[in-house]
Amino acid sequence: MSEQAANRRRQEELYGEPLASLVAGICDTLGINQTAVARVLGLSTPMLSHLVAGRRVKIGSPLAHARLVQLRRLAADVAAGRTSPAQAAEEVARIAASQDSWATTAPTTEPAALQQQLLSVAPAEEWVQIAAEIAERHPGAAALLHQLAAGRAQGGDVDRVG
């Protein structure tokens, strides 16, 4: 396996899909180009190009990552018809100006979204270790973390939560 293919596989573990697919979907849905995405994220165009090409694996900036998550959510809202293209253009500008690296996702009980949220912060193995460390004091939280993270680490599906 080439280094770029390995990097894309790691991106899929981190982001739910390779950044090439993720960025292309955002561009297509929001009607913007990769340079505009880089500007919104606060990354240089060459850096985003390296990420998309699989020459780099991970977005290092928490703020850029938060903005990517927000762009992804916005693209999903536009695709679903919940947000108009005019509203999306305003929202893209708001995301670009955002300084909040913590406001990345809305609360959810969907297992796939919870897995994605966890894996965007740390690999599954780390969450399994965290679950083991907190199990005695917080058994419910530990069980949920273990179920979500271990299910992904083993390539299995996770039962519906909530």
Could you tell me the two tokens for 88?
Answer: 């999306």
Could you tell me the two tokens for 119?
Answer: 């894996």
Distance CA 145, CA 117 (A): 11
H helix runs in the chain, sequence order: 3-15, 19-30, 34-41, 45-53, 62-79, 85-97, 111-121, 124-134, 139-153
How large is the average pLDDT for residues 128-134? 88
Could you tell me the two tokens for 15?
Answer: 């982001």
Is the pLDDT confidence value at 124 over 80?
Answer: yes
Could you tell me the two tokens for 95?
Answer: 């995301």
pLDDT for 134-158, tens place per residue?
988 888 888 888 777 766 444 444 4
**Whether pTM exceeds 0.75:** no
Tokens 């690999």 -> residue: 123
pLDDT for 21-78, tens place per residue?
999 999 999 999 999 999 999 999 999 999 999 999 999 898 999 999 999 999 999 9
HSE-up of residue 114 (Cα within 13 Å, Cβ side): 21
How large is the average pLDDT for residues 114-130? 80
Distance CA 56, CA 4 (A): 8
How large is the average pLDDT for residues 103-128? 67
The length of the chain, given as a count of residues: 162
pLDDT of 159 reads 42
Domain residue extents for the chain: 3-104, 111-155
